Structure 1
Amino acid sequence: MKIPKIRVLSNSSEIFNNPIYIQAKKQVENAIQQVDWPLGTGTFSIYPESGKKKGEGNGVKPIKDNFIKDLEEQGWSPELSIISGLGKSDAVLKTQGKIVAVAEWETGNVSSSHRSLNKMAFAIQQQLIIAGFLIVPCRNLARYLTDRIGNYEELEPYFDFWFNSIASLSYPAVIVILGIEQDEDSLLVPRIPKGTDGLANN
């Protein structure tokens, strides 16, 4: 899988030189790049069919599961809550018993993407984490996934707002939005199952 777009929301030289952030960012990027479809091929190929109609297009859960699995192998913990009442994060990185980074792989609509970013920003404001990573499909991939899934381009108009929110804090921290894409379109690969059907739990 490719990462054609990355937006880093921070102007803190302290966070950019923080070895924990450097490690976390590298691990998240590596986990994304290891995501493939069909599984085991080493390449992420998407069946080019719109997901607007029922029973068409591709799901998201199987590729998210493999991303989380890769992070687990690198020491991250899945499905943990960092703030009471705001739900669980897909993956968290702990150092010396303290949560220092979270990663969210977007599977919902753009409102869900906003909630994820707001949760990260709030956790940073409360000095609970130093880094948050949102992984979201670029429009070129999103058009073949579940209808109305959030995408990078829809979030772009708000980047300056979140940047200013982070930059205004004295606490050194960062939010990173990573836009992901397929390596290729192919009519020769199966659709990615939606929900918990088929291979979704594999």
Structure 2
Amino acid sequence: MKWLRTLVLFDRGEVISSDDWDTVHTSYVRAISSIDHPAGSGTLTLREKVKKPDGQWARNGVGFLRTRFLEFMRDAEGWHAESDVDLSRDRQQPPIKLYPSLEAYREPITSDFGGFDFMTTAPNGTRIAIEWETGNISSSHRSMNKLAIALSNGIVEVGVLIVPSRKLYEHLTDRIGNIGELSGYLSMWEGLKAVVPRGLLAITVVEHDALTTDPAFPYLKVGSDGRAKEGRTKS
């Protein structure tokens, strides 16, 4: 699999110049580059999407890529995967106004955010959260918002979202998030830097190495949930 680029949306406190950021970025890019198909080939080759006689599309599933990335981070790169981060319902909400009374109000937090795909701590103590995008575009937004909240509350100092390029997206099912669909929102996330005491928020873009039209070449396994089924019907 190819690493294309890493977009640093903001950097507070010169995290970008730290040894920890260099170490973790080099490591997870190496893990990305290790993802191959077929296994042992050294490159990620995907079967091109094909429209079937029933009008649905044959595409590659996404779970394999996430699973291999996490395995390489843990087993090959030697990172210790930490337990889920607590984004705490008890954190202080900002004061807002009610209308028409205009009185100050704080809305209670009544929902959980869930953990990150990968949490770890770098050698010099920098806490890092990584999200590998395998959901639809709304999932990408939730991941970015979770990372921003963790950064603004000082829970982590580095937040990374890994997403497919537009070219890779075309051959994956589930209508998953991709850099093309996120590009219009980058300025919004960049603007969150003012509330982060120290931290770095980044998006890393990945892509396949090659495509094949060989009908004997296997697609990556597709899930059976509702979104996967829907993705097979989309163009």
Q: TM-score, normalised by structure 1?
A: 0.87
Q: For the aligned residues, what is the CA RMSD?
A: 2.4
Partners of 1:59 and 1:192 within 8 A in 2: yes
**Larger Rg computed on CA atoms:** 2
The Cα shift of 1:169 comes to 3.5
Deviations 1:127-150 (A, max 9, x none): 010101111111101111113111
The answer to whether the aligner puts 1:150 opposite 2:177 as a matched pair is yes
Partners of 2:24 and 2:122 within 8 A in 1: no
Task: Sort the Cα spacing of 1:50 and 1:9 in 2 relative to 1 into closer, same or farther, 3 A.
Answer: farther
The answer to whether the aligner puts 1:86 opposite 2:88 as a matched pair is no
The residue number in structure 1 matching 2:139 is 112
The Cα shift of 1:67 comes to 0.3
The letter for the 2-side match of 1:33 is S
- Length, aligned pairs only: 195
Query: Identity over the aligned pairs, expressed in percent?
Result: 30
The answer to whether the aligner puts 1:195 opposite 2:223 as a matched pair is yes
Greater mean alpha carbon deviation, residues 100-109 or residues 81-90: 81-90
**Contiguous gaps of at least 5 residues in structure 1:** 197-202
Task: Sort the Cα spacing of 1:80 and 1:54 in 2 relative to 1 into closer, same or farther, 3 A.
Answer: farther
Counterpart of 2:116 in 1: which secondary structure? strand
The Cα shift of 1:115 comes to 0.2
Which of 192, 195, 198 matches 1:172? 198
Q: Which runs of 4+ in 1 moved over 6 A?
A: none
**Which structure 2 residues correspond to residues 8-157 of structure 1 after superposition, within 5 A?**
8-12=8-12, 14-49=14-49, 56-73=58-75, 74-77=78-81, 80-84=84-88, 85-95=112-122, 100-157=127-184
Partners of 1:131 and 1:174 within 8 A in 2: yes
**Contiguous gaps of at least 5 residues in structure 2:** 89-111, 225-235
Partners of 1:51 and 1:58 within 8 A in 2: no
Deviations 1:73-108 (A, max 9, x none): 221316723424211211111258x77001111111
The letter for the 1-side match of 2:173 is T
The Cα shift of 1:38 comes to 1.2
The Cα shift of 1:54 comes to 5.0
